[in-house]
Structure 1
Amino acid sequence: MSEHQNTPTAVVYDIFTERSGDLIAWYTRLSDNATEPAEREQWWSKALQVRDTKRAIPAHDREQILAQLTRWTAELDVLKAAE
């Protein structure tokens, strides 16, 4: 994300953490509102995957943080557009 080019890595990591929380909350809501067990499990699995991905990326690995932040932002945009 070129918008974060001059932003300190610690701040980028905070944005990354916030974005993961936003996406987990969105997936959790979709899971809670699902009417079919398979759909509920699908959304819950996605929430856990985001949590696990966030935990796996070191706070100092700016390149990975930015790449994942880009993916999560795009995913949130798709989810919001579908609502």
Structure 2
Amino acid sequence: MNAQAPYEHRPTAVVYDIFTEASVRLIGEYTHRSDQAATDVDRDRWWAKAMEVRDTKLAVPAHDRGQLIEYIGKWTAEADRLEAGE
């Protein structure tokens, strides 16, 4: 199944909302890890990851379905992995 399939009949505005939710979820995971980090180095590393997602979210055009869907997949997979304790 191609990455576009789950979003094929959804308006781009809805895809953008899902993209935004995926970014918020992953930023939350990274921020939590930053807050719980045992060292300054780890805290800064997790915080940098959160800011990278934020910056990417701001850089992706709201009308670019391909990029929106690509990042939804990446960010959701990463958040799932982190939540699973990996």
Superposed structure 1 runs of 4+ greater than 4 Å apart:
none
Q: 2:85 maps to what in 1?
A: 82
Per-residue deviation, 1:22: 0.9
Gaps of 5+ in 1: none
Q: 1:53 maps to what in 2?
A: 56
Matched, 1:63 2:66: yes
Q: 1:24 maps to what in 2?
A: 27
Could you list the per-position Cα deviations for residues 33-74 of structure 1 after superposition, in whole angstroms to 9, with x for gaps in the alignment? 001111101100000000000001000000010001110011
The separation in 1 between residues aligned to 2:55 and 2:79, in whole angstroms, is: 17
Secondary structure of 2:79's counterpart equals helix
The separation in 2 between residues aligned to 1:78 and 1:18, in whole angstroms, is: 16
TM-score (norm 2): 0.92
Matched, 1:4 2:10: no
The count of corresponding residues between Structure 1 and Structure 2 is 83
Structure with the bigger percentage of helix: 1
Provide the aligned C-alpha RMSD in A.
Answer: 1.0
Gaps of 5+ in 2: none
Secondary structure of 1:82's counterpart equals coil
Per-residue deviation, 1:77: 1.0
Q: 1:40 maps to what in 2?
A: 43
